[in-house]
Structure 1
Amino acid sequence: MTTHLLLHGGGGVQTMKAFADLLAERTGAQVLLPTHPGFGGTPRPAELTGVRELARHYVTMLDEHDLTDVTVIGNSFGGWLAAEIALAASPRVSAAVIVNGIGIEVPGHPMTDISGFTLAEIQAHSWHDPSKAPTPTATGPSPDVLALIGYTGPSMTDPGLAARLGDVQIPVRVLWGESDRIVTPEYGKAYAAAIPSATFTLLPRTGHLPQLETPQQLLDAVL
């Protein structure tokens, strides 16, 4: 059976829940939506010291559950994780989809530093139409953003990632919201260019979180 492994970003697992339901309904496939250890108030094991270690954690999970023909779909930080899982060359993973991923360094097109942003400020940079974003219920940095920085470090990049992506062997689709102000479309094009097997698709009228802002459009692009 085909399996889709959905990997959420710094906004937490709730940013993927509705899209997971939509994907399962459309495809009839098994859809897995884990919460990354350390997010949502969950414990983070000491051995999960960075993004590569978390990627290996998920590859081990696929092995333990004997899953095959897995397509990994990740948004933002989850896109970085999807790239690392693709690099792990697990025979269980057949394809990866990176949606507005972070993690690489792109000269002239740096990622916006959101470490001190409020939720409202993050939304303003993340949505094509911020008026459609959920109303923030808290002030200050989100606990999930703090968990994110625990994996990525303050820069939220790996200086060696872009060069390593040249070793990816499986098919990869890089999908990008045209209005993303966290990581711009030029950043996305550089992401795709670093992966020999990748294609790049620009998604109109959406930002950093297409699965929330334009889920049907993202679904069509994924499938």
Structure 2
Amino acid sequence: MVLPLVACGGPTDDDVVVFAASSLTDAFDDIADAYTSSTGESVVISAAGSSDLAAQIDEGAPADVFASADVATMDRIDGVDGAARIFATNRAEIVVEPGNPHGIVTLGDLADPELLVVVCAEQVPCGAYTTEVLDRAGIDLTPVSFESNVRAVLTKVELGEADAGVVYATDIAAAAERVDGVAIADEFNVEAEYPIVALGESGEAFVDFVVGDEAQRILREHGFGAP
């Protein structure tokens, strides 16, 4: 079960509460179902930008597990001290409207001043990865907006509010009928590493499940790479 960051009623004491990066939404929904089928334990997933989730945890939000889209955000959590485990990887990709009407084929095309380009804010993982990709390619962009999480970038392109953006390859796969993707050359791309950590004993079994064979198969089905 995936819930927004703030939900009416909230989880019960018996639920395993998982804070997960927004790019993990679809995969973790399936993983939560598989975990519940295997253990009988209910899982509640709050999916949002990794930075927002980290801030919530720092403020005392009751989470049993945190899965981030980058190591830097995970390292902000007090008490983690190297306990996090890398469980998946991802790649950046350009998202465009169906049929790619503007003929975008390279990162350099995003610098066209006629295009409406959206990206993640630099303080969130997808924004940090985007900045690194653009720096490697020597491209200076002037986005029309900076979004708080990667799904917000995807949604703006889906709705026609932007011509293109930079998201994760898995986001494009999840919205394959509503957007198209343009690959970023390997020489400029980065590998996003996803760490996960139990924030208490009640989350340890779920973390073990995520790094296990069944959950790893689900992650591959959603387009994530092996750790």
With the shorter chain as reference, the TM-score category is 0.3 to 0.5
After TM superposition, the score normalised by the length of structure 1 is 0.35
Higher relative contact order (CA 8 A, sep 6+): 2
